[in-house]
Amino acid sequence: MVYRADDLRKAVADSVSQFSGRGYDPDKIQQTLELLKTPQGLSLFVGFVLFIMCVIFIVGASIGGAWYSAWVRKRLRR
């Protein structure tokens, strides 16, 4: 984001603009594109993506840990 902000902005704008073909509201897509043109908007987008990825990793690790603990407990009872 720091070194290649323009490339990142272009890639995100291209993927967001494809949503109009999938039936999303064109006005909302235009608002999103306008937001991405500002440095604050790009930072907001990157922060949101990082937050969502963090949540996914925590949930996945929790499920994996619970599964492994149940599996080990089952093996130790034999």
Q: Which two tokens stand for residue 48?
A: 């949101």
pLDDT at residue number 57: 98
| Predicted local confidence at residue 3, as pLDDT | 67
Q: Where are the domains of the chain?
A: 5-76
For residue range 34-63, list pLDDT tens digits in order.
888 888 888 888 899 999 999 999 999 999
* Residue-averaged pLDDT of the chain: 87
Q: What is the pLDDT of residue 65?
A: 96
Residue whose C-alpha is closest to residue 53's, from 42, 64, 45: 45
